A and B are shown apart, each in its own frame.
Chain A
Amino acid sequence: MTPLLATEVPTRLVHLAPVDVVIVVFYFALVLAIGWYLKGRANTGEDFFMAGREMTAWVAGLSFLSANLGALELMGWAGSAYQYGILATHWYWIGAIPAMLFLALVMMPFYYISKTHSVPGYLKLRFGEPARALSAVSFGFMTVLMSGVNMFAMAKVMQIVLGWDINFSIWVSSLTVAIYVTLGGLRSAIFNEVLQFFLIWAGALLIPILGLYEAGGWTNLKLQIAQRTSEQYVHLWSGLGSFTTNPMGIHWTGIVFGLGAIISMGYWTTDFLVVQRILAAKDIRSAEIAPIIGAGFKMMVPFIVILPGLLGLAVLPMKLVPESVAKVTGGYSYNDVLPLMLARYCGPGLLGLGVTALIAGFMSGMAGNVSAFTTVWTYDIYRPFINSKGSDHHYVNMGRWTTVIAVLISVGTAYLVMQFASIMDYVQALFSFFIAPLFGTVVLGMLWKRATGPGGFWGLLCGTLSSISMWTWVKLDPSALRYVALSPHAKGLAQDMYQALWSFVVCVVVTVVVSLATKPTPDSELTGLVYGLTEVPAVRDVPLYQKPLFWAAVVTVVFFVLNIIFW
């Protein structure tokens, strides 16, 4: 018996064999070794915060995707698939692919050519200091909360699967992330994210393979799910004509306009956590190709996240319940479906790899949050507002200390998250508060040269406040959901979709009105920042198969085919 298991509780799902423990320990040793190896290559600000801007398209693209493969992806969406059926796939396809392609082809040139260190940094160049300050502070707030969500989710899985004490899991994972990000900066985070990408696939891919074998194939699985729940659990679009004909209680307009056009655009194009990975690309073609590579793999992620949730509906002998019910009855909640499926199929060795994949996913999300927070704090809050005359070495040291402090704040946040009934609702609410209005501000800034500094600032502020107000309104008076989400039958996730849509609209309207009422910014100050005033280098001297546009077209075709197949 290892010391790791000394804090076990009697409710654990599985017992790790010695070989499983070796695999888990080897993972921690390897990520720390990578951090140690890279510590000599993080001596300048450009190295520590931007990984030297020398990542290839593949490394940047896989890191871009892996930074998003955190607690929410692995455990939360498997649970959502069990709860809502295949509808959860929308968050991977229409809720990601168009946005990733938009980032690659439309927005990335402006980010890259402006040579900004961050998204708030772009807002400073485009709209001035107030917009940057508002964006940096809200991003920092959201990031540490997200990091806490990741930590809590990981600790919960470790408790359910292995019986490990929640406190022990939080502290071991957070200290490991703190060490390897402090040593190697963004490069260390990116290296480990790519490693984690492979581990996640190696550890999780067996669940759908063996699950489909047990269920008798996809056709039999659909029949079993329809018998146990309803036929709408296996259709992506056919039940979205009404709020009452699908398990999620959402209308197709919410999915298309709220999720596809606003929330996903906001997340994938303006959330610095993921955009930072692309900014580390070695040249503009790599920066454009990287999100397309990410999109290609993103379309496949439902196979290891959504499908296990659907398989759980068919093959698990027990019925999973909401988190709040599980706490009272002692049963298993929706969020437990992935570890339950892992325990169902994976014996010694495979179980260790599966557990390692979960830990890796959680730690990649945490490291992504911490490294992004560190950059925004140092470059967008500390340097402009607290100490603008420090040396490059001083800011690197500030980055290292901020990494440690961010981890400690995240630990505190993880304990706060324990008070919330649903991890998913919590995270979705955060997205709606900040991401949707930020997308409105950034996209107007890039595509409309008439947008002014005051317009950008007031649009962002009003959009954010409107989102918080709607959320508070529904919290205080749940019947208000009929106004926010356009139907008395709407449920929680539908509220998030429409809340994002309205806050985006508020942001855009306020930005346009204030911009038209204020003095235009001279064109000379917008060169390199706005469409029409920026010369984007054309990709001419490479064969067709190396052009971003070609691969974006391929991904688009596959995207439509998948949606039609699972209609």
Chain B
Amino acid sequence: MISIWFFIGISLAVNGALILAAGIYQLVNPPVNPGVVLFHLHANVWWGTALLVFGLIYCFKFAPGRQS
């Protein structure tokens, strides 16, 4: 049976990748009106990276083939 933690890893990794991609796009093409405060912190870049790394660790550690 696939572990619940594997599903969580998939969710975090995919969401992290999407958020990171959106952040990088905005970094390269800064919008004229960002629409949010503290835009200069580029939270989506570092938060997306953190989720992606965390998710990949879970995916690897709890991959179906690795579970007894």
Contact = CB atoms under 8 A, between A and B. Distances in A.
Interface residues of A, number: 33
Nearest to A54: B1
A398 interface: no
Contacts of B39: 347
A349 B19 contact: yes
- Interface of chain B, helix or strand or loop or mixed? helix
Contacts of A194: 4, 8
Contacts of B10: 30
- The binding surface of chain A is classed by DSSP as helix
Interface string A182-215: 0000000001001100110010001000100110
B15 A353 contact: yes
A346 B36 contact: yes
A26 B36 contact: no
A356 B34 CA distance: 21
Given A344-B37, A345-B38, A348-B44, A23 B18 contact: yes
Contacts of A195: 4, 7-8, 11
Interface string B26-48: 10000000111111010110011
Nearest to B20: A349
B65 to A, nearest CB: 16
Contacts, number: 88
B51 A202 contact: yes
Given A19-B18, A349-B21, A350-B43, A214 B4 contact: no
A22 interface: yes
Contacts of A348: 22, 25-26, 44
Nearest to A56: B4
Nearest to B34: A347
B38 A202 contact: no
B12 interface: yes
Interface string A24-38: 001100100010010
Contacts of A199: 11, 15
Given A23-B15, A206-B47, A347-B36, 14 more contacts: A26-B14, A30-B10, A34-B7, A59-B4, A198-B12, A199-B11, A199-B15, A213-B38, A345-B38, A347-B34, A349-B21, A349-B44, A349-B48, A350-B48
The 8 closest A-B pairs by CB, nearest first: A349-B22, A349-B19, A348-B22, A19-B22, A349-B44, A347-B36, A350-B44, A191-B4
23 contacts: A19-B18, A22-B18, A27-B11, A30-B10, A37-B2, A195-B8, A198-B11, A206-B43, A206-B47, A213-B41, A344-B36, A345-B37, A345-B38, A346-B36, A347-B23, A347-B34, A348-B44, A349-B18, A349-B48, A350-B19, A350-B47, A350-B48, A352-B19
